[in-house]
Every structure is written in C-alpha cells, then in structure tokens.
Amino acid sequence: MKPYIIFFLLIIISCKKNDSKLTVVSKDHDLNLRYEVLNQLIDSISFENNSYILVSTLRTVYLNKDENNDEPRPLGFVLEYDSVFSKNDSAYYKNQEKIVSDFRLDKTKICKKLRYVTDEELHKLDENRKSDFWTEFNKKFGGTCIRSFSVPFFNKDKTMCIVQSSTSCGYLNGSGYTAVYKKINGKWVEVKALQNWIS
C-alpha cells in the first residue's frame, strides 16, 4: 500500500511543478485586422514574375521605449506617443506590444502566392558565403528583391495603424519607410510617412 501512496504523492507534486511553469499568452484579438492590412499592402505591390521574396519574420513595432529599461529588444521600430498613439492608452499599447512580439506569419492567410525567406536563411547565406551576400542570395533565389514589413500596430480605436516596410535589391539598392495608415471606407489609406531611408 505504501508504494502506491508514494507514487500518488509524486504525481501530485510533479503536476504542481508543471502548473507553475505555465504562462498565460494573451489572445491577439486584432489578428484578422493585422492580416487585412498586410494583404492590402502586399496587394498594392507588384510581385509579378517572382520579382520579390517576402521575409516571413515580420519586424516588431514598440511604443515609447523606456530609457531606464536596459532590456534588449529584437530589431524593430520604436514609436513615441502622439495624437494617434495617446499616452493615456499606454496599458493597451504595452499589452499589444507583448502580443506583437509573439506574432508568427501564417502564410495561408496571405492572399497572394509568394516566395518566402526567413531571417535564419538570410543569416546563413551571410555567414556561409564564398562570395558577397547578394551573389550568394541571387544564386539561391534568382534576381529577386527582398521585401519586409513590420507587424501592423493599431491605435486603441483600431482606426489607424503603423507599418514599417523596406525593399532591398542589392548593395546600395534599398529603401524603406514607416507609414501611418487610416481606415477610410473599408481601405487602409496612407496618411503620413515617417523615417524614409534610401541607399
């Protein structure tokens, strides 16, 4: 009888330990809206003849990085509070930031048939190259350009969002910018461009 009691107690203890390791992941209530924005942006770009390959690891948008916070963040874009992203709604944005950092692109939700590349594949090309990165890239993917986007980040009312996008076609042949989009008559319309860059 004693071995059964000990076995039963071990099961209870191990279950309690596993429960403490569980973390609560917030549900992304704006997931469909994020894909709506991405599909509209992708649809507005000519991906004909497989001229572009989309980076499937979307960049993260952060809001008002705390100067006192030394916590490292992945590559992305840091927003400041303004009239669109009000500091009064900071709790909402902090929660959205956590959700966005866990975003993984579901290719089945992208309407256009595209070619994809991951950050890991690009890093491997850069590390294991026998010549320059773009020569290695073109050997593997042909004469294509790389397109990348950030995860759409919404204001609290979900009437506006911000997205960072970029194109790279070779050394000193790239451009990008961050834009604010507003939903007007069912379409996401660019209303403001920020941080343009070109090389």
Contacts by 25-33, CB closer than 8 A, 24 or more apart: 25/102, 26/95, 26/98, 26/99, 28/99, 28/103, 30/96, 30/99, 30/154, 30/158, 33/152, 33/154, 33/158, 33/161
- Cβ neighbours around 21 below 10 Å, total: 6
Q: Assign residue 62 a region: left if phi > 0, alpha if psi is -120 to 50, beta otherwise?
A: beta
Q: What pLDDT is stored for residue 71 in this prediction? A: 54
Half-sphere CA count of 59, side-chain side, radius 13 A: 19
Distance CA 146, CA 52 (A): 6
* pLDDT digit string (tens) for the chain, length 199 residues: 555 455 444 455 545 444 444 444 467 888 999 999 999 999 887 666 567 788 888 887 766 655 455 554 444 566 677 777 788 888 888 888 888 888 899 999 999 888 899 888 888 888 866 788 888 888 888 888 899 998 999 988 999 999 989 999 988 889 988 899 999 999 999 998 887 888 8
**Nearest Cα residue to 57 out of 109, 102, 12, 8:** 102
Q: What pLDDT is stored for residue 65 in this prediction? A: 57
Retrieve residue 48's tokens. 């004909």
